[in-house]
Structure formats: C-alpha cells, structure tokens
Structure 1
Amino acid sequence: MSDEQTTETTARPLLRVVRGNPDDAELAAVTAVVAAAASGEASAPDAPRRSRWSDPAARLRTPLRPGPGAWRASALPG
C-alpha cells in the first residue's frame, strides 16, 4: 500500500450518516450546507460589529397605519 492509500483508509470522515439511506443528491446538499456554514463562521469574526446606535436601519420609520387607536400606537416602538 502506498502512503496515499493508508491515509485515505485511516482518515476519519467529516460527515457520517447515522440513520437513513440518503442518495447522492441528498448527501451533496448536506455537504454544501455544512461547508457554507463552516465558511460563514470563519468570516464572521473578521467583520466589524455595528452598534445599534449607528445602524442606518434605525433611522427608517415603520409605516403609519391610520385607524381607531392609531394615535396611541404611533408612540409605541414598532
């Protein structure tokens, strides 16, 4: 046996199916989701966290809803 074959046979799998019998398309979908989640976590700490005080979305107002009691609801946060 060559070195490549021994490392392939002794290496632990990254994913293991515990229950069920998924086909190739289902395994490919699960692998893509796990790979995307793993790459998203790696880039998240590098991104600076934005404070709620400086968030531009806080300047946007919720739409007004005219009707009975609307004047009371206008002072409440949406």
Structure 2
Amino acid sequence: MKINKVNAIIAKCASVKPADIHPDLSLVYDLHMDSIMFTEMICFLEDEFSVTVAEEDIMKWYCVQDVYNYFKIAQ
C-alpha cells in the first residue's frame, strides 16, 4: 500500500516509528526534520516511486498531508 511506503520513508528519515506518522504532522516542527533529513526523504521517495519531484513542488510540503497529496494518497 502506497501510504505505508510513504509513512515508512518519512519515519525512517525523521527517526520515528511509522505508526507515529499522521497527516497533520508538520515535517519541520513536529517531526523535527532538518534540511538533510528532508533531502534524504525526497531521495527515498523519488527512488521508491520512480519520479523526480520538482523543487517548486517540494517547497509546498509543510506537513505529511502535503506529501500524501503529491503522491495522490487518499486518507
């Protein structure tokens, strides 16, 4: 399931459990992701889904739901 893969990647990069990932969490403020962790997350997501995420799209990612929206994951 796509949501499980995304959650696992975000959790790995933020050093939390996948079960702790929720749509309303802020990538920076709640998950404490710095620029290196964020870049790592993007690389893992690009590899997992065989896509290249445009920088202008990345700049719109503030919370986990934004990542779900990009990859069209319904809740």
Both proteins in one fold, TM over 0.5: no
TM bin (shorter chain): under 0.3
More helix by share: 2
Q: Please say which structure displays the higher CA radius of gyration.
A: 1
TM-score (norm 2): 0.24
